[in-house]
């Protein structure tokens, strides 16, 4: 029990450390928010002639923008440790590789949440759509967790490589696509007024994908840190 509590405290310390660095370097999070907002604005103007079909388009647009936003920042959390030379310090501490990975994942969730707080309300204002609130929020949480964790895993896989900018999109796409399709379908259903029970298949699929990524990453992270 004491060991598990100690590990949780270490995870909390690492997560808080990354969050403090994020808000100390405000330009990083601001650039992500600006990217997502500008992309959404560009889509809203370009879809002018097709505005009647926005209910079919907006789910894909939202998740694609979120996917590219995550790809720009989340996988680089491990790379920053390598570039700053702090990864060796982390390895020398009594913190397990699994705890480091979980801390990075929690940090990734904070980054994604910061973007979504702006992106989702802005999309509602621009496209003036209605949705089933409770199912939509649940799907947004599960889908965002999956995307954030997948991005973090890609960051761990590429942290020792020099061609990160090439490998990150190559790895992110096949890992994310299986979860991206059901969340788009589920979001489209919520725009049509579907209740929670009607999007259970999407929840199950995305949740299963999330658990598979989590288990595999916790199992493999030790070998990655020994590289």
Chunked mean pLDDT (size 10), the chain, 227 residues: 66 85 82 88 73 71 86 75 71 77 86 88 80 79 86 80 78 85 87 82 88 84 69
**Predicted pLDDT at 52:** 59
pLDDT at residue 1 in the model: 47
DSSP string, 80-110: HHHHHT-HHHHHHSS--HHHHHHHHHHHHHH
**pLDDT (0 to 100) of residue 198:** 85
pLDDT of residue 68: 86
Q: What does pTM read for this prediction?
A: 0.83
User: Dihedral of CA 196/199/200/204: which sign?
Assistant: negative
- Output the pLDDT for position 54: 66
> What's the pLDDT at 226?
65
> Which of 148, 149, 166 lies closest to 217 in space, CA to CA?
149
């Amino acid at each position: 029990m004491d060991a598990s509590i100690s590990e949780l405290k270490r995870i909390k310390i690492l997560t808080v450390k990354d969050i403090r660095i994020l808000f100390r370097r405000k330009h990083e999070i601001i650039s992500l928010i600006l990217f997502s907002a500008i992309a959404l604005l560009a889509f809203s103007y370009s879809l002018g002639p097709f505005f009647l079909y926005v209910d079919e388009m907006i789910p894909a647009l939202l998740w694609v923008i979120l996917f590219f936003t995550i790809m720009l920042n989340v996988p680089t959390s491990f790379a920053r440790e390598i570039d700053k030379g702090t990864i060796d310090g982390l390895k020398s501490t009594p913190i397990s590789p699994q705890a480091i990975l979980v801390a990075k994942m929690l940090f990734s969730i904070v980054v994604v949440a910061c973007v979504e707080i702006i992106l989702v309300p802005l999309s509602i204002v621009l496209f003036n759509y209605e949705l089933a609130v409770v199912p939509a929020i649940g799907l947004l949480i599960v889908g965002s967790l999956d995307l954030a964790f997948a991005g973090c895993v890609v960051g761990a896989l590429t942290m020792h490589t020099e061609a990160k900018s090439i490998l990150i999109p190559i790895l992110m796409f096949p890992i994310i696509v299986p979860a991206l399709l059901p969340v788009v379908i589920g979001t489209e259903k919520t725009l049509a007024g579907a209740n929670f029970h009607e999007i259970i298949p999407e929840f199950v699929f995305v949740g299963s994908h999330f658990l598979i990524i989590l288990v595999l990453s916790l199992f493999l992270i030790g070998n990655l840190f020994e590289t």
